[in-house]
Amino acid sequence: MDKPREECGVLGIYSQEPLDMAGLLHLGLLALQHRGQEAAGIAVSDGREFLVEKDLGLVNQVFTEERLSRLRLPEARLGLAHTRYSTTGSNLRFNAQPLTARTAHGVLAIAHNGNFTNAKPLRDRLLKEGATFQSTSDTEVMLLLLARLGHLPLPQAAAEAMKALEGGYAILLMDRKTVVALRDPHGVRPLAIGKLPHGYAFASEPPALELLGAQHIRDVRPGEVVWVEEGELKSHQALPPSPAPCAFEWIYFARPDSLLDGVEAYEARVRMGMELFREAPAEADMVVPVPDSGIGAAVGYARSSGLPLEYGLYKNPYAGRTFIQPTQELRDLKTRLKLSPTSAVKGKRVVLIDDSIVRGTTSRHIVAMLKEAGAVEVHFRVSSPPIRFPCYYGIDTAARKELIAAQKSVEEIRAYIGADSLAFLSEEGVKRAIGGPVCLACFNGRYPAGVPLEGEKLALETL
């Protein structure tokens, strides 16, 4: 589907009592599978042994029962897990996470969601200082920064390393003693904390914590380092907070049952739909969501408009991911495999709700399918502003030349996708719906956490 691509999901557990760590992390990763489908990995430790398994593929493809059995330490008390979509570093097996290294802290593992915008100059500096890189991922930059801070306890080393890093990130670290969680000073990428009966867990989204039986107690604050020491949760504010969490977490990425920085994702999406009706009402007979991304906003639009919400598009649950196909014709057929119209739209004026338009290709096919099925009008409403700029903080929003809103006006986009009318939610509407400060850089080009230097953008994308 023509959407911003997933980022990554991270998960970590510290327990004072032995757990089936591999089994729990496997379950937790399944709750984060939507955040990345290219690679998955798990690291576990009992304080002595340190085991890692990772590979390319979906969580259940990587973690067969045979592979999980190799991770099952009877006395395991620590664990780290990651599911990956590659925004930097091509999708190669050695870039799968957690990444590990032997340092003065002993074996150290890292799981990272986001991007360091200054990865290239930091990498160049470390190479000049004699560092050896084992991957092409920007994540390894932090791992080697920590290796140079081995004289400090791991939480302090993490706080010091944060001073050198720019960008948006949520990171989990693990040695043989503890798990450390940290978040960039803008809190661009999410990271939640849960309380277990005998320990703590950390995850990109609370549903993964709840699946593990952990009670979601709060989020890691922007610029904060959190760790567990002798069973107690410790915290250090490493950098001054300047909150600007990614708006797309609420618009699209997070599971609808997630609570991020105190704001429920589903309710935020419903409010976006309500704001969208207030800003761009349409004369129509029904509201139809693009499943599953447009459902929350469609509920809000229908609620405010009084129009019925109809099941006008069927999503094939067995279609799987749409990988790039060798011809445009096959790509178009893949869209039809995933979505098809129902008879509900025949003879009706439809308000079609989706969360975003990136390249416009899928939107164009959906509009055409609805009209072929008998819809007399299709009024397209989008619960986010036009995406005009790339993201450098861990979401793959395509190169700017591929973003339709960076090349065309709203009217030109309407004509391209074949809709009878088209409207996007305003930035103010997004902010009202979320109810707090957010990063809107992909809409307005105002990046809160810096961007790579012009000559380094390609390098960052191809590390």
- The residues that are catalytic are 8
Q: What residue has token string 């196909």?
A: 325
- Side-chain-side CA neighbours of 430 within 13 Å: the count stands at 27
What's the rounded Cα separation, in Å, for the pair 252 and 146? 33
DSSP class per residue in 222-260: TTEEEEEETTEEEEEE-S------BHHIIIIIS-TT-EE
Q: Give, for 404, the enclosing helix (H) or strand (E).
A: helix 404-407
Q: Tell me the Ramachandran region of residue 135: left when phi exceeds 0, alpha when psi lies from -120 to 50, beta otherwise.
A: beta
Residue 245 amino acid letter? P
Is the CB of residue 81 less than 8 Å from the CB of residue 144? no
Q: Which residues pair with 288 in a beta bridge?
A: 352
Is the CB of residue 384 less than 8 Å from the CB of residue 424? yes
Q: Which residues pair with 51 in a beta bridge?
A: 44
How many Cβ atoms sit within 10 Å of the Cβ of residue 123? 21
Q: What residue has token string 């005998």?
A: 198
260 exposure class (CB count in 10 Å sphere: 0-12, 13-18, 19+) = buried
What the block records as the tokens of 103 is 């340092």
Is the CB of residue 376 less than 8 Å from the CB of residue 389? no
What's the rounded Cα separation, in Å, for the pair 46 and 50? 7
Q: Cα–Cα–Cα angle for 11, 17, 20, nearest 5°?
A: 55
Is the CB of residue 189 less than 8 Å from the CB of residue 393? yes
What the block records as the tokens of 293 is 């991304």
Is the CB of residue 77 less than 8 Å from the CB of residue 92? no
